[in-house]
Chains A and B, each alone.
Chain A
Amino acid sequence: MVVARPNIHVKNRVAIVGAGLTLFRRRMLETPRELAWEAARMALEQAGLTLRDIDCVVIGSAPDAFDGVHMKGEYLADGAGGLGRPTVRVYVGGGTGVFVPIAAWWHVASGLCRSVLAVAEEKMSPAHPHPQGVFAYIWDPILERPLGPNLIWIFALEMRRYMYKCNVDKKTIAKVSVKNKRNALDHPAAQAAANITVEDVLKSEVLVWPVQRLDISPVSDGAGALVMVSENEARRVTDSPVWVEGVGWTLDNTHWYNRDLAYPRYVNYAARMAYKMAGIERPWKEIDVAEPYDPFDYKELHHIEGLMLARRCEAPKLLEEGWFERDGELPTSPSGGLLGVGNPIAAAGIMKVAEIFWQLRYEAGARQVKKPVHKGVAQAWGDLMQAGTVIVLGN
């Protein structure tokens, strides 16, 4: 069966039929393969399938240097159900979490596999004194590293540029952190859920001005998994499949000198690709719920604009109006996002896709958004800070 989409021909429509997550915590006892197994088992259970029903496995995990094991996709493959099957690990840094379902999509859409287990795992706790050290190697060794930078420098510069360009103050940006950490109170896997105020954010420790402690997502261990199947298979196992309607991914320039710091082009191009595939022309009207990538609070606003859910520099205004609250016009990060649920890099992205999946099935419980939902978008950002990955889901 060949299904025609507005601008793409695929062999099979692809549906998500199950999702699973482990707890997100600073230090987990479980090994990487055990984390992958716990999430994957939960996803299979929700789909009503067993490992026997799975044709192919896609694993995603960010730098090997976090877990401290080279080729860690292979290292945890048995936990991800990958032994004796066509298995591949994909990796685009922080964008991996959304790239895993994208890769799983083309496994199924091409007709190569009927059912795919998509597993993302991250264990950031082994690196000492702090996993922050792992990030040192993303810098240009000649032009940047001699200055002794750390990761937060990037975000401080971006945040500053965004604040300047869009004339936003820290008070407004802090509201993202307040919103997401509060949303996360309803998330059973959450690590950093809290009822805080804007004042708490503004009074928290300054890390690299203007970035403060409560502007940042935590360091986490965790895993997430999705079961993705072809249309025939989906109709067999569930009455409420969630369709993958569009996927997109883009690389921007990793070098600072030629990259727009105030506007995430990498997300915008990826989003345009995904919307085009999904036949979405006015995302700000057609998208009902969104999970933009929010490792930092300003980054959510940044990405809302990149996803064209708000005009440039308009996101802070809409935020002030309560537009992005769970009962708002366009709820963003109803899960609690990375700021609230936690940030085990690859697993955090798949957590966002899982949240859209649960929202579109009306299974999010206390986290369910107030408005009726038909289409949702999840997005992540990574590599050397310049990769955008976007997935559009519909019910």
Chain B
Amino acid sequence: MAWSMWWREPRRTYRFPGKMEVEKYVYTPGLHGLEAARALKEEGKFLGTRCGDTIYYPPTTLCPDYTEGELAEVKGPWRITAYTVVRETLEGERLEKPLVIAHIAPDDAVGGLIHYVDASPDEVYIGMEVEPVLKPKEERRGNPVLDITHFKPRRPETEE
């Protein structure tokens, strides 16, 4: 039978809705992941996994040679390695302020993270130095991404 014929049947006839029975997932951060999330929440520090002379961020616990790494602080400075600009929502509504999303890597570690950058699309460029803006300590929930509200360009006048 053609699809169009099936479509003309009365509603609720010959239809087989399926229900999702898993309501949600709760993930665990892992060994170093937990320590890093705790350090960000409590001390506002970024932790990575040190393997020899290299620090990996985000922390991986294990090293490429399969040994266990140790926790080490990542201090930055952070730089944009790639960025894109979102101007519309998924539904096609125009955003009032374009959203700049970037891959941001610290100079002293391998890796990086994706986050929002509070900058206009005209001024942002690859290699731009940015710095993390954390939520106030009492609002941090131990989420290594959402405890950072965004990254902001590091301008000379903001430097002390």
Bound-state CA distance A30–B27 (Å) is: 10
| Cβ contact within 8 Å between B25 and A29 | no
Please pick, from B25, B28, B66, the residue contacting A51 in the complex, using a CB distance under 8 A.
B66
Contacts of A79 in B (CB 8 A): 62
- Tell me the minimal C-beta distance from A337 to chain B in angstroms: 26
Chain A contact patch, size range: 35 or more
| Cβ contact within 8 Å between B66 and A126 | no
Please pick, from A31, A44, A52, A126, the residue contacting B25 in the complex, using a CB distance under 8 A.
A126
| Cβ contact within 8 Å between A68 and B27 | yes
Please name the residue on chain B nearest to A132 by beta carbon.
Answer: B21
The stretch among A139-147, A152-160, A180-188, A194-202 that forms the contact with chain B is A139-147
Please name the residue on chain B nearest to A30 by beta carbon.
Answer: B30
How many chain B residues touch the partner (CB < 8 A)?
23
Is B9 part of the contact surface with A, judged by Cβ < 8 Å? no
| Cβ contact within 8 Å between B21 and A29 | no
Is A65 part of the contact surface with B, judged by Cβ < 8 Å? yes
Given A40-B66, A50-B66, answer yes or no on A68-B23 (Cβ-Cβ < 8 Å).
Answer: no
| Cβ contact within 8 Å between B26 and A126 | yes
Chain A, 121-148, contact with B by CB distance < 8 Å: what is the 0/1 string?
Answer: 0000111110111101100011001100
Bound-state CA distance A40–B68 (Å) is: 13
| Cβ contact within 8 Å between B31 and A134 | no
| Cβ contact within 8 Å between B25 and A68 | yes
Contacts of A31 in B (CB 8 A): 27-30, 33, 61
| Cβ contact within 8 Å between B18 and A29 | no
Please name the residue on chain A nearest to B27 by beta carbon.
Answer: A126
| Cβ contact within 8 Å between A51 and B65 | yes
| Cβ contact within 8 Å between B31 and A34 | yes
- Tell me the minimal C-beta distance from B9 to chain A in angstroms: 15
Is B110 part of the contact surface with A, judged by Cβ < 8 Å? no
- Tell me the minimal C-beta distance from B45 to chain A in angstroms: 20
Is B2 part of the contact surface with A, judged by Cβ < 8 Å? no
Bound-state CA distance A171–B56 (Å) is: 56
The 6 residue pairs across chains A and B that have the minimum distance between CB atoms: A133-B21, A68-B25, A31-B30, A133-B22, A126-B25, A51-B66
B-to-A contact residues, CB < 8 Å: 16, 18-31, 33-34, 60-62, 64-66
